[in-house]
Structure 1
Amino acid sequence: MKFKSLLAKPFASIIANKVKKEMQRAVEDQESIWQELIKTGRKTEFGRDHKFDQITSYENYKQAVPIRDYEQFRPYIDRIKEGKHNILWKGQPIYFAKTSGTTSGVKYIPISKDSIDHHFNTSRNAVFCNVVEIGDSTAFDGKLIFLSGSPELERVGGIPTGRLSGIANHQIPRYLRTNQLPTYETNCIEDWETKLGKIVEETLRQDMRLISGIPPWMQMYFDQLIEKGGKPVGELFPNFNLLVHGGVNFEPYRAKLMDSIGRKVHTIETYPASEGFFAFQDSQETEGLLLNTNAGIFYEFIPAAEIFDENPTRISLKDVQVGVNYALIVSTNAGLWAYNIGDTVKFLSTSPYRIVVTGRTKHFISAFGEHVIGEEVEHSLMSVAADSGVRITEFTVAPRIQVSGELPYHEWFVEFEQVPENMAAFAGEVDRQLRNKNIYYDDLLTGNILQTLKIRPVRKGGFIDYMKSIGKLGGQNKVPRLSNDRRIADEMEKYLDGR
């Protein structure tokens, strides 16, 4: 055991114990955070506009501050970009995290001096909690990599601006800098394929021990490592033992990633976003992600079915129930107020508060009132794939509404490692699983409003080529699993398996 792992071991124990204590006082911490947010918010333009000086309770807050998405926040963001101070939070943001929205175009999410440390510290907490449980801190003796966007930042209204992953690169503490790969120059390469080739060159003969990123782009990295090195990743990196992932549901990628590694490694799931670091896996033994309740974020929850209602039900953490699908609403110490981030979550437990991410509020299919969500399609496809010994590379689903001479249906574009021998039987079982998960979908089939789903096999590499064609290859970009329109589906027609 080397010096860094010796130092990391007691520090990790301190952090893990702190996290355990915070589990027990989550509701109290949320109340304290809310009080602090309101206190600071009173001195801002947003606070004056919404009469924060008259807010004395959460009920007041709900009446004064409606749920907003980015478009409704944009006028305040624009004033920050003009150089104005004390608009959403005290002073100015120290960064803008630049993201692309489905309807808002480019979004600029503020990150403040008060919020920035939580982005890195929560990631650290996730790793340290698992390191303590595993009983092995030697990951810090070798090299680590986070497959991220470019750390080069532009300035928007004088504020450094870039992808969250690029911003995070600037926050890595000095004691980890010597462990970090790739080099800064390589990380700044914008073209993903060129960048990935350089990353493989720089890491192939290194002592890689921790690898982090979004699963589909980790898989591309692994594929090239195997092609260049001629061995499974686990043999190329014999000390590699921690795989940290986030951004999308891991299960559709797990089997192929583990096969590429060639042996078991520990995995750690995280739930970061530009708006805040919301949850993380704190244990290898327990399902779900621990909600990050003491990190400058106040959470609200709306039953997902009500998210587009004029006056939806809004509750705080103390009133959530296990098993209900909620839209996640946040107010933060970066100046977001009752902000709808667009994700849906479900609680697996309330002691402590553990969640799973179930999908996106805008990523669903309800062309006929079925309201099928991401969790349902992922479960249906992956459970059948596991039972059939079939591996899935990527998929997306959309409705096919206008069909000549037959009933409409859900169209599934699926890239397989190997196409099932009996596609009709495979699709039929996926359909049966989906009917079991969603009674509205089942009713539509029973009532002859829809016909059973159809699977369209996508050629190998088809989804990568699609992402390349729209300029979203690599980094933090991901393919939406569900769409209520044909925008993605019509493009995927170009990448079908011609066999």
Structure 2
Amino acid sequence: MTPPFDATPILRAVAARRHARLLAMDPAATQQALLLSLVWRAAATRFGRDHGFEGIRSVADFQRAVPLRRYEALHDDYLGAALPVLEDVLWPGRTPYLALSSGTTSGRTKHIPVTREMVRANRDTALDVLVWHLAAHPRARPFGGLSFILGGSTDLTQVAPGVLAGDLSGIAAVEVPWFLRRWAWPPERIALMPDWDAKLAALAAEAPARDIRTLSGTPSWLLVLLERLAARHGVPPLPSLELLIHGGVAWAPYRDRLAPFLPPGCTTREVYPASEGFVAIADRGEGEGMRLNLDRGCFFEFVPVGELDAPNPTRHWAATLETGVEYAVVVSSCAGLFGYVLGDTVRFVDRAPPRLLVTGRTSWTLSAFGEHLAGEEIEAALLHAAAEAGIAVAEYVVGPEFLGSAGRHRWCVEAQGSCDPARLAALLDAALRAENDDYAAHRDGAQLAAPEVVLVRPGAFACWMRAQGKMGGQHKVPRVVADPERFAAMAAALSAEPPASRG
């Protein structure tokens, strides 16, 4: 399959106009105007009537009228009694799609409403990824070949008249405009495959390697795909690839492992997508932050993590956010979500325009013993310890174990390279002491014993994900499991021998 012609010149003209508009955009004015348009559109819905949308004239009015809600509260208050038919509940008309999103920490399947307005906003934001790519690389030709999107199954289930449910990548595939389909890969026959292993085999066997210009997906699954492609085509397996778009999990653990598979000149660009909306795109180099998407269907608020469960938390937005503060992300969108706590944490590195780094999840904290470890500290400590030990971390999870009056952290680590787990545990302990004063104090005060590292067999995490029915697509390994019972069950499964070798 090859594209009919190189459409990059058309894209380049559109991208130049969009780039100029992005550079001239006033963040606060743009976000406030967008919020008021969302409120106006949803004023006659059940949610809008309940929260007095007709009287909202400013961001401050909105924040007084609409409390923060996590998914569980939204489900109890609005979704539960109506699903699968959301008719004038959160957004005008019938919501045509429900994105099924499994929480990485709770395990509960979420039904995230996706309207056609949200689909268009996501599609337009995907165009912005290429806008920033062409701005940095004017001679690039992303539409001179195919765009390979590594997603989950695109098969959707009709759960009610006019309502389809499934993976977000399936919703996106249904809504790809006809005039872009000739530049998209894989074909529907492969994209619909529900079995992840069979799908990977088909992707590796049939990918038109020399025609692919862009590749996008979650780093963990991209690595698996590129390894299989390399086994068939050699290295680099996609010789014409010029842009790898990644998001969903932290890039640092995968950067060096993916680099050997990329051809010379191929660039990478991080994105921050979520089932609830497309949050940000890297507009500069790696590590310089991702630029907040200001006019693509989502109004964003940022609550200091320590205030998230306070009765009256401080709700910052584009006009008031500060750099260097760890915030929980809150979104209001053209899918009818208002004051919705996304579950991610970020830290801003710039204010004008707002640029952020993703630091973890609101639930990715370890404080079973008062140690107050944030997800960003946990990941940084492990990467530092692994580098000192001379290994690469493929996957990991950490959770608490109670030992009488004290406790410890247990780490299950799938590593590339050999090392002494006791040495890795000591390196981790030292790194966490340096990162976090509370951790150091609890270690010195004997409330927290030394951590334990268990090195699990290669492929253990993939087997666990398969057993959970969470292979491929947007599914991610949980990094922190704070519930001791749930963590103990996961750790036991990871440490078990594979079925073929038992007995």
One fold, TM greater than 0.5?
A: yes
Structure 2 counterpart of 1:490: 489
Structure 2 counterpart of 1:446: 444
The TM-score normalised by the length of structure 2 is 0.91
Once the two structures are TM-superposed, the CA of residue 117 in structure 1 deviates from its matched residue by: 1.0
2:102 to 94, 100, 103: 100
Distance 2:229 2:473 in 1: 18
Once the two structures are TM-superposed, the CA of residue 397 in structure 1 deviates from its matched residue by: 0.8
Distance 2:353 2:253 in 1: 27
Structure 2 counterpart of 1:135: 138
Structure 1 counterpart of 2:344: 343
With over 3 angstroms needed to count, the CA separation of the structure-2 counterparts of 1:115 and 1:218, relative to structure 1, is same
Once the two structures are TM-superposed, the CA of residue 467 in structure 1 deviates from its matched residue by: 0.5
Distance 2:122 2:12 in 1: 22
Once the two structures are TM-superposed, the CA of residue 359 in structure 1 deviates from its matched residue by: 1.0
Structure 2 counterpart of 1:373: 374
Structure 1 counterpart of 2:27: 26
Distance 1:285 1:361 in 2: 24
Once the two structures are TM-superposed, the CA of residue 56 in structure 1 deviates from its matched residue by: 3.6
For the Cα contact (< 8 Å) 1:321–1:347, is it kept in 2?
Answer: yes
Distance 1:9 1:105 in 2: 43
Task: Report whether the alignment pairs 1:431 with 2:425.
Answer: no
Distance 2:125 2:149 in 1: 15
AA at the equivalent of 1:152? D
Q: Secondary structure at the match of 1:107?
A: strand
With over 3 angstroms needed to count, the CA separation of the structure-2 counterparts of 1:413 and 1:40, relative to structure 1, is same
Structure 1 counterpart of 2:115: 112
Structure 1 counterpart of 2:155: 152
AA at the equivalent of 1:68? R
Q: Secondary structure at the match of 1:316?
A: coil
RMSD of aligned C-alpha atoms? 2.3
Output one character per residue of 1:187-222: Cα deviation in whole Å (capped at 9) or x when no partner. 111010001000111116442221111111111111
Distance 1:391 1:411 in 2: 18
For the Cα contact (< 8 Å) 2:6–2:143, is it kept in 1?
Answer: no
The TM-score normalised by the length of structure 1 is 0.92
Structure 2 counterpart of 1:9: 12
Task: Report whether the alignment pairs 1:161 with 2:165.
Answer: yes
Structure 2 counterpart of 1:357: 358
For the Cα contact (< 8 Å) 1:9–1:137, is it kept in 2?
Answer: no
Structure 1 counterpart of 2:203: 199
Map 1:308-319 → 2, pairs under 5 A = 308-319=309-320
Output one character per residue of 1:369-425: Cα deviation in whole Å (capped at 9) or x when no partner. 22212111111111333455421111111111236xx952111111111123x4433
Structure 2 counterpart of 1:36: 37
For the Cα contact (< 8 Å) 1:395–1:481, is it kept in 2?
Answer: yes
Distance 1:485 1:359 in 2: 17
Q: Secondary structure at the match of 1:483?
A: coil
Query: What number of residue pairs does the alignment pair up?
Result: 490
Once the two structures are TM-superposed, the CA of residue 490 in structure 1 deviates from its matched residue by: 3.1
Distance 1:205 1:288 in 2: 31
Task: Report whether the alignment pairs 1:81 with 2:83.
Answer: yes
Q: Secondary structure at the match of 1:165?
A: helix
For the Cα contact (< 8 Å) 2:398–2:480, is it kept in 1?
Answer: yes
Q: Secondary structure at the match of 2:490?
A: helix
Once the two structures are TM-superposed, the CA of residue 306 in structure 1 deviates from its matched residue by: 1.8
Distance 1:205 1:58 in 2: 49
Map 1:153-232 → 2, pairs under 5 A = 153-158=156-161, 159-203=163-207, 205-229=209-233, 231-232=234-235
Output one character per residue of 1:218-262: Cα deviation in whole Å (capped at 9) or x when no partner. 111112112233x22x2x322112111111111111111113447
For the Cα contact (< 8 Å) 1:8–1:137, is it kept in 2?
Answer: no
Structure 2 counterpart of 1:471: 469
For the Cα contact (< 8 Å) 1:466–1:492, is it kept in 2?
Answer: no
Output one character per residue of 1:315-343: Cα deviation in whole Å (capped at 9) or x when no partner. 22222111111111111121111111111
For the Cα contact (< 8 Å) 2:238–2:263, is it kept in 1?
Answer: no
Once the two structures are TM-superposed, the CA of residue 113 in structure 1 deviates from its matched residue by: 2.8
For the Cα contact (< 8 Å) 1:133–1:284, is it kept in 2?
Answer: no
With over 3 angstroms needed to count, the CA separation of the structure-2 counterparts of 1:58 and 1:85, relative to structure 1, is same
Detail structure 1 runs of 4+ shifted over 6 Å in the superposition.
none
Task: Report whether the alignment pairs 1:288 with 2:289.
Answer: yes
Once the two structures are TM-superposed, the CA of residue 80 in structure 1 deviates from its matched residue by: 4.6
Structure 1 counterpart of 2:245: 244
AA at the equivalent of 1:181? W
Distance 2:85 2:262 in 1: 49
